């Protein structure tokens, strides 16, 4: 039996501390801060480095294994999240610098709560039994999902860029969302991050050798990845077979590229009218079944304003010349006497064969705080909206009733989502439950310049397509426009000759669908956010296991004790 060494056997006079040992107190926090910011930012669109999403939280988890002081750890991680999310949302400066400098740190702090839970969970991790370690890992991954879920409804909701959006071009990983919703993707990614950090710690800090280098957490993470991906690979392969693909319709997308700074000015109204009319006539030459215009395309209201009668007549005239029904975003009001008090962001169908503008339109259900209304107006009434369409607050609609578009013998049942709405899984789910066979997203990303906003926004539509197993057709004022099939595959994207999505033009897409999903509903559409209940149970189980083992073993083993025991 080998002799156990003590401090008396160590020659302190010959020991020369390394540069790292002398400076680790500031280098470790600095390194974790820089890596966390960089990996988080580059994981998300518009960057094409989605592999970083598998290690973005690994530096923070690895650092937590070393038991840094809580105050230091909290300051570094909350600061890193504030910086990362301010960079991710940097496109917001085109609208408001104040909003950017408030929202970025706020979202960072919201997500930063998870990193604080990591510090607490990992203080009881090293040297614990396998079941305890896995319970903590799964519990922390589930906690991430629950925190993301609260972002979809708390304080009116801002679920922009869930972790699952990083995989918007990874078809194999996306498919689990049809079963669990976007939370399943996030869960899998966080498990992998945690397991990778545990493996690195086992290798470099616990100094295991031979087969002991293998991390049980990493093995479990690989199993989670396999079980999340493997069941859907056959569906994706079968989807690619021609016999399962049926034509749906030809959709022409019109991208007018009207600068937001002049869109609502009276002197520039003719620019919008002329551009929309000209591009629609050009689009009609490709014999589409439907022409789609973006959010609030014409600069006047369809109903309720003094110019509404002329606008409806003009819309009917354009659709008649194009000989094609038009789906257009437009503002509207229910009360001509008080238009600002009953103002809606809406979508209407213009059918030249059936009396022009249809009376039944879709009204936006989830409004943008400070963009379309001022929340808590009695307290915050001194703040102004970003939008200058109307001086009053936009009103919210309440119905997910789809729009019916007839084109010859074809009938399209379109579930509508206006701009911001496609970041909310529940709204797309309601569309599918109401019988929509396709989602049509009309948006105006002209507010946000030519940065990453359009790509980040489009990533949400990919998630909605997979969750509901419905194609998504997107039309923006200037990028991102195109269509996505039921499996999240981007089948068409509007770009100019230079490959840019920011331009004025039109393009017609032949939209198809998987016949197996015609009239069928995905598991997620049928059962909703059931995965949140599973995550809540996993969080409680992980917490209970950590507390139970700690109560039985008051003092966690040190790294040295762990190594000696292994030897």
| HEC-encoded secondary structure of 425-443 | HHHHHHHHHCCCCEEEEEE
Which candidate, 292, 331, 214, places its Cα nearest to that of 477? 292
Reading the block at residue 450, the tokens are 């030519």
Phi-psi region of 157 (alpha: psi -120 to 50; beta: other; left: phi over 0): left
63 membership: H or E segment, kind and range: helix 58-65
Strands 472-476 and 438-443 turn out to be: parallel
Q: Report strand pairing: 410-418 vs 438-443.
A: parallel
Cβ 65 vs Cβ 197: under 8 Å: yes
Residue closest to 182 by CA, chosen among 482, 488, 396, 561: 488
Which one is catalytic: 217, 385, 419, 421? 419
Q: Is the peptide bond before 46 cis (omega within 30 degrees of 0)?
A: yes
Helix-then-strand count for the chain, H and E: 18, 14
Q: Of 554, 287, 282, 260, whose CA–CA distance to 387 is shortest? A: 260
Using an 8 Å Cβ cutoff, are 347 and 360 in contact?
Answer: no
- Tokens 């949302």 sit on residue: 89
Q: And the tokens for 400?
A: 């997910």
Contact 87, 100 (CB under 8 A): no
Cα angle for residues 100, 106, 109 (degrees, 5° grid): 140
Q: Find, among 400, 402, 403, 388, the residue nearest to 444 by Cα.
A: 388
What is the rounded radius of gyration, in angstroms, for the C-alpha atoms of the chain?
27
Max distance between CA atoms of the chain, in angstroms, equals: 96
Residue 340 CB burial class (10 angstroms; 0-12, 13-18, ≥19)? middle
Token readout for 446 is: 């002209």
Does 535 participate in catalysis according to the annotation? no
Contact 162, 186 (CB under 8 A): yes
Write down the catalytic residue from 295, 372, 421, 486. 295
| Whole-angstrom distance, CA of residue 476 vs CA of residue 220 | 42
Closest of 61, 55, 90, 88 to residue 77, by C-alpha: 61
Are 474 and 483 within 8 A, CB to CB?
yes
Among 35, 32, 14, which Cα is nearest to 24's? Answer: 32
User: What's the burial of 201, exposed, middle or buried (CB within 10 Å: 0-12/13-18/19+)?
Assistant: buried
CA distance 495 to 490: 13
Express the helix, strand and coil content of the chain in percent, nearest 5 each: 55, 15, 30
Residues 362 and 416: their CA atoms lie apart, in Å, by 7
Catalytic residue (one of 263, 363, 364, 507): 364
List residues with catalytic annotation: 295, 364, 419
């Amino acid at each position: 039996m080998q002799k156990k060494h003590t401090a008396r056997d160590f020659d302190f006079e010959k020991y020369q501390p390394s540069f790292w040992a002398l400076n680790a107190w500031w280098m470790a926090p600095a390194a974790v801060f820089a890596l966390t910011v960089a990996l988080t930012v580059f994981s998300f669109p518009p960057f094409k480095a989605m592999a970083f999403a598998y290690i973005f939280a690994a530096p923070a988890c690895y650092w937590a294994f070393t038991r840094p002081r809580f105050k230091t750890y909290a300051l570094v991680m909350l600061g890193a999240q504030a910086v990362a999310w301010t960079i991710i949302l940097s496109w917001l400066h085109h609208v408001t610098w104040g909003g950017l400098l408030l929202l970025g740190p706020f979202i960072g702090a919201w997500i930063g709560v998870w990193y604080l839970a990591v510090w607490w969970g990992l203080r009881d991790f090293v040297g614990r039994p396998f079941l305890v370690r896995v319970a903590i890992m799964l519990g922390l991954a589930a906690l991430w999902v629950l925190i993301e879920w609260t972002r979809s409804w708390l304080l009116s909701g801002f679920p922009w860029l869930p972790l699952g959006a990083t995989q918007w071009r990874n078809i194999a990983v996306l498919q689990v969302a049809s079963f669990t919703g976007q939370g399943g993707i996030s869960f899998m990614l966080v498990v992998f991050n945690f397991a990778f950090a545990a493996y690195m710690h086992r290798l470099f800090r616990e100094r295991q050798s031979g087969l002991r280098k293998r991390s049980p957490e990493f093995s479990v993470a690989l199993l989670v990845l396999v079980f999340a991906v493997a069941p859907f690979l056959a569906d994706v392969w079968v989807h690619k077979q021609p016999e399962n693909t049926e034509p749906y319709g030809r959709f022409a997308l019109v991208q007018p590229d009207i600068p937001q700074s002049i869109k609502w000015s009276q002197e520039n109204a003719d620019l919008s009218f002329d551009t929309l009319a000209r591009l629609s006539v050009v689009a009609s030459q490709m014999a589409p079944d439907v022409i789609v215009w973006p959010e609030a395309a014409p600069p006047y209201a369809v109903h309720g304003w003094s110019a509404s009668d002329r606008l409806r007549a003009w819309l009917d005239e354009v659709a008649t010349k194009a000989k094609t029904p038009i789906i257009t975003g437009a503002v509207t009001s229910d009360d001509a006497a008080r238009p600002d008090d009953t103002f809606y962001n809406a979508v209407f169908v213009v059918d030249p064969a059936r009396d022009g503008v249809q009376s039944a339109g879709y009204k936006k259900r989830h409004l943008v705080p400070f963009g379309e209304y001022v929340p808590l107006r009695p307290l915050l009434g001194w703040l102004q909206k970003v939008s200058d369409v109307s001086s009053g607050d936009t009103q919210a609609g309440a119905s997910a009733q789809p729009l019916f578009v007839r084109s010859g013998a074809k009938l399209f049942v379109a579930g509508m989502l206006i701009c911001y709405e496609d970041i909310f899984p529940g709204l797309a789910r309601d569309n599918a439950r109401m019988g929509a066979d396709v989602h049509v997203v009309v948006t105006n990303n002209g507010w946000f310049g030519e940065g990453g906003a359009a790509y980040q926004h489009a990533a949400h539509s990919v998630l909605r397509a997979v969750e509901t197993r419905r194609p998504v057709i997107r039309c923006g004022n200037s990028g991102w426009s195109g269509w996505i099939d039921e499996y999240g595959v981007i089948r068409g994207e509007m770009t100019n000759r230079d490959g840019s999505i920011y331009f004025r033009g039109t393009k017609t897409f032949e939209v198809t669908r998987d016949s197996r999903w015609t009239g069928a509903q995905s598991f997620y559409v049928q059962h909703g956010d059931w995965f949140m209940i599973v995550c809540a149970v996993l969080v409680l189980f992980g917490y209970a296991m950590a507390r139970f083992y700690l109560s039985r073993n008051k003092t966690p083993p040190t790294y040295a004790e762990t190594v000696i025991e292994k030897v």
